[in-house]
Amino acid sequence: MSGRARVVLLGIDGCPAEQLSPSLTPRLWAMGADGGLTLSGRAPLPSSTYPCFATLLTGCLPSRHEVRATARRPGVVPGWAGQPQVAVPTLFDACRAAGLQSAAVQGDHLLHAVLRTEAADVTWPPGGVPPPGVPLDAHGYPTNAAVRPHLLAAARDPAIDFLFGHLNEGDTLGHDLGPDAAAARASYAEADRIAGELLDALRPAWTRTVVIVLSDHGMEPRTGRAPIDLLNSPPVRALVADVLGDGGAALVRPRDGVTPRDAGAALADVPGVAGWGGGDPGPIVAEAQRGWIFATPRLPLRGFHGGPATARTFAVVGGGHRAVPALARSMAARPPHLADWAPTIARLLGLEMPGADGRSLLEE
Ligand SMILES: [Zn+2]
């Protein structure tokens, strides 16, 4: 592949793959028809915002980048359950090392600290703090409309080689109202319109541009089932010291001397638990069945993610760069994991991303 690309990566937080359609998201659907589209992309577990975006921007799984949960609790994160910031280099670091300019324009302003975007040349909100007067959603994050002008300005700046944009509002509405609520669906449609404007803004340099739009995870509706309180089970409590719930997944710390296998067997017997993984080393990841959520102090009202049921993501590629048809073919043959995008983008930018767990979609 010759000719270094300009890469624009847009994450639409919590937009379920099943919400993509010609009627609700016409610009993304048309982009997929011209380029490529998959509704079968995969996310790591927990399928939760910070682990997923950390995987997207580093190419590493949570066991390596160490951002294992979006939830925070003193002594737990940071602590046995993981770290609040990525422990490995990001695409922003790789750009900086190679003298390329990058930008991070993010609706979830706290994601700047998670991804250590100080390595980027342009960040919004500046310093990860929304300026006074910026409209915020119900969870305190800048709205899609607030992000939009900054995203489009970065897209129009030809000096920026790699732009990462993030729209958060659909995740907030999905948690509060459910992914099928009219307001949540309207937000997915708004994100589609912004993605369309982004494509229009990129037209002047179309032949050197690759655009990737994807979700970090899906969203499932809350059901009437009681939350899974693992430490309420005596056999689990005998083997497990602590639990951090993150929607449909939970990070579990076995007591000293207890093997992951023994703790996992006790977890698997709890109603609503689908399975478990990890634990060697690091915490065990308990996985909930569809419709079940692990107990946390503040449960989302109507929608949640984290478990295997929301580890499916969509991804759409477009642009006029000559690598786009090969990317589309690769996506059709092998649905990408979020970890595959950083090595793919590194290759498009002519960068090295050594040590990534994912595999470039352009690898033959
Ligand atoms: Zn998210």
Separation of CA 171 and ligand 1 centre (Å): 6
How large is the average pLDDT for residues 66-94?
96
Separation of CA 2 and ligand 1 centre (Å): 34
Separation of CA 49 and ligand 1 centre (Å): 3
Separation of CA 199 and ligand 1 centre (Å): 23
Instruction: For 243-302, write each residue's pLDDT tens digit.
Output: 999 999 999 999 999 999 999 999 999 999 999 999 988 999 999 999 999 999 989 999
Separation of CA 326 and ligand 1 centre (Å): 28
Separation of CA 84 and ligand 1 centre (Å): 15
Separation of CA 249 and ligand 1 centre (Å): 14
3-class secondary structure for the chain?
Answer: CCCCCEEEEEEECCCCHHHCCCCCCHHHHHHHHHCEEEEEEECCCCECHHHHHHHHHHCCCHHHHCCCCCCCECECECECCECCCCCCCCHHHHHHHHCCCEEEEECCCCHHHHHCHHHCCEEECHHHCCCCCCCECCCCCECHHHHHHHHHHHHHCCCCCEEEEEECHHHHHHHHHCCCCHHHHHHHHHHHHHHHHHHHHCHHHHHHEEEEEECCCCCEECCCCCCECHHHCHHHHHHEEEEEEECCEEEEEECCCCCHHHHHHHHHCCCCEEEEEECCCCCEEEEECCCCCECCCCCCCCEECECHHHCEEEEEEECCCCCHHHHHHHHHHCCCEHHHHHHHHHHHHCCCCCCCCCCCCCCC
Separation of CA 320 and ligand 1 centre (Å): 29
Separation of CA 303 and ligand 1 centre (Å): 12
Separation of CA 205 and ligand 1 centre (Å): 30
Roughly how many angstroms between the first and final C-alpha of the chain, as a whole number? 11
Instruction: For 159-209, write each residue's pLDDT tens digit.
Output: 999 999 999 999 999 999 999 999 999 999 999 999 999 999 999 999 999
pLDDT at 1: 47
Separation of CA 207 and ligand 1 centre (Å): 31
Separation of CA 142 and ligand 1 centre (Å): 14
Separation of CA 224 and ligand 1 centre (Å): 23
Q: Which domains does the chain have, with CATH numbers?
A: 6-222+305-349 (3.40.720.10), 230-299 (3.30.1360.40)
Separation of CA 256 and ligand 1 centre (Å): 33
Separation of CA 216 and ligand 1 centre (Å): 6
pLDDT band at 72 (very low <50, low <70, confident <90, very high): confident
pLDDT at 280: 84
pTM: 0.98
pLDDT of 145 strictly over 60: yes
Separation of CA 360 and ligand 1 centre (Å): 23
